[in-house]
């Protein structure tokens, strides 16, 4: 039986260390044995957003993600840092137990995708596929394709954390690019379809194999009785039929 990680939660705001010349705050979220530190010292104007918007989500979702993505012998990082970095480019990235967020992008997306972007990166922290590289002999280790590494976080983000935003929908605009291994949102959409259609536990199974350095496309057939290519074709055909003009559907 999986041990629950939900427990008493304390949130403490402390002033930045003296080394942080520009002031700001650190928000320390303690949930069970997990401690997540959100450092907004380089963006003190975002402290209010951190406290009211980001901190509650981090508090709820990090332990939730740990329970969602277990595997034998694995313990998720107990100490995680989220840093708002004024010099970072792009959106955000995770390295080990550290998440770096690009301040410029976050300032422009506080009311849009900012919090969801952090949820995506927290999934990467929990995935921890480097654990498999360190604990699996070279001869037995298999490479996890990028569409799995990014597709799982976007499945969790768009279909479990914020499904109401419909941020990973397949539309007429992106239908031509709808391939199961297209990465990020599109792959997240495919994974959600497999979960809904064939195996509600497929994400946990695929993630556990990837974390152990043992991912293989054969896993999809093992758990659904269909190859990854067959699943991808069926998924795309479903969307093609769904997006057909009503007039065409009537003629059929």
d(CA 246, CA 58): 43
pLDDT digits (tens, 9 = 90+) for 167-176: 999 999 999 9
Pairing assessment for the beta strands 79-85 and 92-95 based on DSSP bridges: unpaired
d(CA 33, CA 195): 30
What residues form DSSP beta bridges with 11?
29
What is the per-residue pLDDT for 245? 74
Higher pLDDT, 183 or 134: 183
pLDDT digits (tens, 9 = 90+) for 28-79: 999 889 999 999 999 999 999 999 999 999 999 999 999 999 999 999 999 9
Q: Is the pLDDT of residue 187 over 80?
A: yes
What is the per-residue pLDDT for 137? 67
Domains in the chain and their CATH numbers? 9-128 (3.30.2010), 143-252 (no CATH)
Q: Is the pLDDT of residue 210 over 90?
A: yes
DSSP percent split of the chain into helix, strand, coil, nearest 5: 50, 15, 35
- pLDDT-derived band at 246 (thresholds 50, 70, 90) equals low
- pLDDT-derived band at 140 (thresholds 50, 70, 90) equals low
Sheet containing strand 34-39, strands side by side: 9-15, 25-31, 34-39, 79-85, 98-102, 92-95
d(CA 22, CA 45): 11
Q: Is the pLDDT of residue 84 over 70?
A: yes
Q: Is the pLDDT of residue 209 over 90?
A: yes
DSSP code per residue over 66-122: HHHS--TT----SEEEEEEETT--SSEEEETTEEEEEHHHHHHTTTTTHHHHHHHHH
What is the per-residue pLDDT for 9? 35
- pLDDT-derived band at 244 (thresholds 50, 70, 90) equals confident
Q: Is the pLDDT of residue 111 over 80?
A: yes
CA angle 227, 229, 230 (to 5 degrees): 65
- pLDDT-derived band at 6 (thresholds 50, 70, 90) equals very low
What is the per-residue pLDDT for 139? 54
Q: Structure pTM?
A: 0.87
């Amino acid at each position: 039986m999986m041990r629950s990680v939900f427990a008493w939660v304390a949130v403490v705001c402390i002033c930045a260390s003296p080394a942080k010349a520009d002031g700001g705050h650190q928000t320390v979220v303690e949930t069970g044995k997990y401690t997540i530190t959100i450092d907004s010292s380089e963006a003190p104007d975002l402290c209010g957003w951190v406290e009211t918007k980001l901190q509650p989500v981090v508090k709820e979702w990090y332990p939730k993600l740990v329970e969602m993505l277990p595997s034998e012998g694995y313990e998720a990082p107990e100490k995680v840092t989220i840093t708002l970095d004024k010099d970072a480019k792009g959106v955000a990235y995770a390295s080990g137990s550290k998440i770096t967020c690009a301040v410029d992008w976050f300032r422009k997306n506080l009311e849009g995708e900012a919090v969801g972007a952090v949820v995506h990166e927290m999934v990467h922290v929990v995935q921890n596929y480097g654990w498999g590289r360190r604990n699996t002999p070279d001869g037995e280790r298999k490479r996890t394709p990028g569409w799995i590494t990014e597709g799982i976080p976007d499945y969790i983000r768009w279909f479990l954390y914020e499904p109401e935003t419909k941020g990973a929908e397949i539309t007429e605009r992106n239908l031509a690019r709808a391939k199961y291994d297209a990465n990020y949102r599109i792959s997240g959409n495919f994974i959600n379809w497999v979960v809904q259609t064939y195996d509600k536990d497929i994400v946990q199974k695929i993630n556990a194999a990837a974390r152990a350095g043992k991912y293989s496309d054969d896993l999809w057939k093992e758990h659904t009785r269909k190859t990854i290519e067959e699943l991808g074709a069926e998924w795309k055909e479903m969307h093609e039929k769904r997006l057909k003009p009503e007039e065409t559907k009537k003629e059929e």
